[in-house]
Structure 1
């Protein structure tokens, strides 16, 4: 976030807005660029990530689809990270 200008709060807001526009697929989260990194993270946090997806699907009332046909572990990392960022934005700036 240090590449954004302004106060810490302004930097956070700009980062979260970029995440909402571009998502993890843009490569802006270096820990989730490579499938191997996503796979490792997914394996370490499997239960938590799947619980987040299930809660999201229950809230939406439908399954969340992988429209890019990504490996499941990459899809899950991106989905959960983007949802986490959206939740921070919603609770902090809306």
Structure 2
């Protein structure tokens, strides 16, 4: 388990209703504000910087599996990739 996945799991495990939390993350994404730790740019930038290597590995893995580069939004790159990393880690850890 990567450091990124451990951090995601720690946040999920703190939730009162873990199943609903993960469902909301997977259906609505971090943009919904569901993850209090990743609401503000300051927090998403810190997350990105802290887990940069794991995020890059995850990005490459996803791009490889879909056969094309990710279509990253026009907003803040660090913010977008922080949210992407949380959402994809949830999918990997709890998607079933």
What TM-score do the two structures reach when normalised by structure 1?
A: 0.78
After superposition, the C-alpha distances for 1:51-91 in whole angstroms (9 at most, x for unaligned) are 11011101110111123x2211111110010011112222x
**Structure 2 CA distance, aligned partners of 1:48 and 1:21?**
23
Q: Give the superposition deviation at 1:21.
A: 1.5
User: Runs ≥4 in structure 1, deviation > 2 angstroms?
Assistant: none
Figure out how many residues of one structure are paired with residues of the other and give that number. 82
Runs of at least 5 residues in structure 1 that lack an aligned partner in the other structure:
3-10
CA RMSD after TM alignment: 1.3
Higher relative contact order (CA 8 A, sep 6+): 2
Higher radius of gyration, 1 or 2: 1
SS at match of 1:59: helix
Runs of at least 5 residues in structure 2 that lack an aligned partner in the other structure:
1-14
Match of 1:74 in 2: 79
Please tell me whether residue 42 in structure 1 is matched to residue 48 in structure 2.
Answer: yes
Match of 1:5 in 2: none
